[in-house]
Structure 1
Amino acid sequence: MGQRITLSVPDGSFAAYLATPDAANARGTAIVVIQEIFGINADMRETCDNFAREGFVAICPDLYWRQEPNVELTDKTEAEWKKALALYNAFDVDKGVADIDATIQAVRLQPGVTGGVGTVGYCLGGLLAYLTATRTGADAAVSYYGVGMDKHLDEASRIAKPLLMHIAEEDEFVPAEARAKIIEALEDSPHVEIHTYPGCQHAFARNDGVHYVADAAQEANARTLKFFQAMK
């Protein structure tokens, strides 16, 4: 279902995983899937494939390409965590958002994309999805347990398109104080819908993840699907 493609930006080029729906099932809309700290791994490819099965064109760009292209890690070993965290700590958020914006523009030109383009991100990608709602022309955005969002709440007034947020109530990477600040800053926005998941740790919706919680993941993913189905 998926294939590797190459996208170009002024300072270079990077890979992306592109999954396309069957013609009979195509909705005409697209979703940019934004990676966690582990790169374009099996989880991200499966996420793209699942969206394609639902009729969306789905694309996941390699946001680590300036540091190390084609990173593919899991959450299963200490060595992988160590490498993922090193990449995350060196990651340039502003350039990452610019690469996502370029991906949004590129996928609008893909065959069969005649409608809106949304973004969905997880962990690091959850922060970046929020920032696509404040900095890009994305038509909708979904943030799963975004890390570091509390440092960018001064941008919240720029949100003009629908933003759906999934917050884990026991997120070990987003302290309770930060979660409270995020909710307080965004809950009254007419464009933002927030859901919290009691008892869930970070990455409760990661496919085959260490902290996967089936009921919560299914609930969050159902909300996400319904949200994107409403995108025109």
Structure 2
Amino acid sequence: MQIQTTTITLTTATGPMRCLQIMPLASGNALGKKPTKTFGAVLFYSEIFQITAPIARAAAILAGQGFIVLVPEVFHELNPAGTVLGYDDTGKDKGNQDKWTKPLTSHDSDTLAMLAYLQTLAEFSGKTSSYGVCIGGHLAFRAALNPAISAACCLYATDLHSDTLPAAPGDQTLERAGDIQGELMLIWGKQDPHIPAEGRLKIYQQLSKSGCNFSWHELNAQHAFMRDEGERYDPALALWVYQQARLLFCA
């Protein structure tokens, strides 16, 4: 499916937020006609490095499967618009600093802004899912606390087990898992040092205790195996993930 890419800026409770928008090229648009509401949406939450080239390419793959994809700058309050951090120690240090600075409630209001924007699109079918990698996996999980999210695909979600992101008492994401009404898919790399086996076990037990509807996949992979740059990339597993995400979002 052909896609079209634009950059938009949304108004949020904490300031303007730039988003990458990638969506299928509706036949109605191509012919100059009014588009029909045929496409579900995916809120795609990135790594700490924001909208890098690998993230943009991944979003394009999802959009090409028939989804309107919105990729927000997850730390828009803390950086100039358009900031992309490097995959190096400097970028990692800045991204982690941003992660530990931004309150989870500000991510919640970002999600609300994207959900409201989708309602203005003639091409939007009304069904929204979330998807994310690394800290974005956590934020995709967090987005699913909103009942408007029907499904969430969370890849090697960091900081779920450790409760280390800024939040008020009782508002850490994992402890609120019982609020999730949609379906979760959690995918982990067994060789990922950021979410060790004991951390994954804690998450699994909490999801089971909370009565969540979820599927669980532990793969022989490292952290960031979806990123198509660097030695950790596993293209075969990445292809499998995209297929599983599509099945989840279309269910």
The TM-score normalised by the length of structure 1 is 0.90
Deviations 1:18-52 (A, max 9, x none): 01102149842111111110011112211221122
Aligned AA for 2:219?
Y
Pick from 50, 59, 67 the counterpart of residue 56 of structure 1. Answer: 67
Secondary structure of the structure 2 residue equivalent to 1:148? coil
CA distance in 2, matches of 1:10, 1:88: 18
User: Which residue number corresponds to residue 32 of structure 2?
Assistant: none
- Is 143-152 or 24-33 further displaced after alignment? 24-33
Cα 1:9–1:81, aligned 2, differ >3 Å: closer, same or farther? closer
Deviations 1:135-169 (A, max 9, x none): 45212111111011123322111111111111111
CA distance in 1, matches of 2:159, 2:13: 27
Q: Does 1:6 align with 2:5?
A: no
| Residue pair 2:189, 2:222 contacting (<8 A) in 1 also | yes
**RMSD (Å), alpha carbons:** 2.0
Deviations 1:53-94 (A, max 9, x none): 11111111112111003221242x222222222222323222
User: Which residue number corresponds to residue 113 of structure 1?
Assistant: 124
| Residue pair 1:104, 1:138 contacting (<8 A) in 2 also | no
Aligned AA for 2:194?
F
User: Which residue number corresponds to residue 45 of structure 1?
Assistant: 56
**Cα offset for 1:3?**
0.9
The TM-score normalised by the length of structure 2 is 0.83
Q: Does 1:167 align with 2:188?
A: yes
- What percentage of aligned pairs have identical amino acids? 24
| Residue pair 1:169, 1:196 contacting (<8 A) in 2 also | yes
**Cα offset for 1:125?**
0.8
Runs of 4+ in 1 over 6 A off after TM superposition: none
Q: Does 1:177 align with 2:198?
A: yes
User: Which residue number corresponds to residue 226 of structure 2?
Assistant: 205
After superposition, where does 1:37-186 map in structure 2 within 5 Å? 37-69=48-80, 70-75=82-87, 77-150=88-161, 151=163, 152-186=173-207
Aligned length: 228
User: Which residue number corresponds to residue 169 of structure 2?
Assistant: none
- Is 187-196 or 105-114 further displaced after alignment? 187-196
Secondary structure of the structure 2 residue equivalent to 1:224? helix
Secondary structure of the structure 1 residue equivalent to 2:24? coil
**Cα offset for 1:187?**
4.4
Aligned AA for 2:13?
P
**Cα offset for 1:183?**
1.4
CA distance in 2, matches of 1:136, 1:66: 25
| Residue pair 1:64, 1:71 contacting (<8 A) in 2 also | no
Deviations 1:193-222 (A, max 9, x none): 111112x11111122244112222222221
More strand by share: 2
CA distance in 1, matches of 2:42, 2:54: 16
Q: Which protein is bigger by CA-based radius of gyration? A: 2
